[in-house]
Amino acid sequence: MGPSLLLSLLLLPASLQAGSSKEYNPNTDFGINQPASLSAPEGGSTCISFSYFHCWELAKDPRLSIAVRRRDFHGEVIYNSTQRFIHKDYKNRISLDLREGQNSGTLCIWNLRKEDENRYFCRVQVETLRDGKQVWQSIPGTKLTITDAAQMTTITKGPTTTVTTTTRDMNMETMVKVALPIAVFKTAILGLVVYLWWKRSKG
C-alpha cells in the first residue's frame, strides 16, 4: 500500500465526520425579513411587516422580545415589547401585532408625521435551550417615506345651495331697505318740483 493511499484512508473518516456533523451554522442561519421601503401620506398610517428565522432550539420559556430602532442600525429604540417601552415621539401612535407560532409580526404607526420619515430596524431576542440568550437585528431595515397629505375637496350641493340662497335673500332684503327711502325721497322732490312749476305757471 503506497503512502498516498494510506494517507487518503486515514483522512476519509475525518472528512465524513465533518460532513455529517454540519447541521447548521449558528453564525449565519438566522435573520429578519422586512420590506426595503414603504411610503404613506402624512396623517395616514403604515404597517411594517416582518418575519424572522433562526437555527437554535428555544428554551421552554423563550422570552421572545421584539424591539425597533430608528435612523440607523445602532439608533435609538422606539419600541420594546417586553419592557413595554414606547418612545415619546410615538406615544399612542404605535402598536405591535405578533403572530404566535409563525415567527412574524406587524408594527403599525398611525397619525403619521413628517418627522416619522426614517429607517426602521426590527430586532429579535430569544432564550435558547443550549446557547443562552440570542439577539439579532435586520441590517438594511425599512425606509419609510412620508408623502404630502392628500387634499380632498368635497362638494356638498345641499348646504352650499342653502347658504347661497340665504345670502341672496339677505342681500335683496338689504337692497330693498336701502332703495325704498331713496324712492320716497325722489318722489317727494319730483312732487315739489311739479308743485312749484304749477304754481309759477298759474301766477
CATH of the domain at 117: 2.60.40.10
Distance CA 167, CA 90 (A): 46
Give yes or no: residues 45 and 99 share one domain: yes
Residue 150 DSSP symbol: P
pLDDT in tens, the chain (203 residues): 554 544 343 333 333 233 333 344 555 689 999 999 999 999 999 999 999 999 999 999 999 999 999 999 999 999 999 999 999 999 999 999 998 778 999 999 999 999 999 999 999 999 999 999 999 999 999 999 999 986 443 444 444 333 333 434 445 555 556 566 676 677 778 777 777 776 777 66
Say what the pLDDT of residue 25 is. 54
What letter represents residue 14's amino acid? A
Give yes or no: residues 139 and 159 share one domain: no
Give yes or no: residues 43 and 123 share one domain: yes
Half-sphere exposure of 192 (CA within 13 A, CB side): 6
Give yes or no: residues 115 and 101 share one domain: yes
Give yes or no: residues 83 and 177 share one domain: no
Say what the pLDDT of residue 27 is. 59
Give yes or no: residues 126 and 83 share one domain: yes
Give yes or no: residues 53 and 139 share one domain: yes
- What is the four-CA torsion angle of 184, 187, 188, 192, rounded to 10 degrees? 180
In a domain, 195, yes or no: yes
Distance CA 38, CA 159 (A): 39
Say what the pLDDT of residue 99 is. 82
In a domain, 14, yes or no: no
Give yes or no: residues 130 and 177 share one domain: no
Say what the pLDDT of residue 191 is. 76
Distance CA 154, CA 186 (A): 49
Question: Domain residues for 200?
Answer: 153-203
Give yes or no: residues 102 and 186 share one domain: no
pTM over 0.75: no
Q: Which of 147, 162, 178 is the last residue of a domain?
A: 147
In a domain, 15, yes or no: no
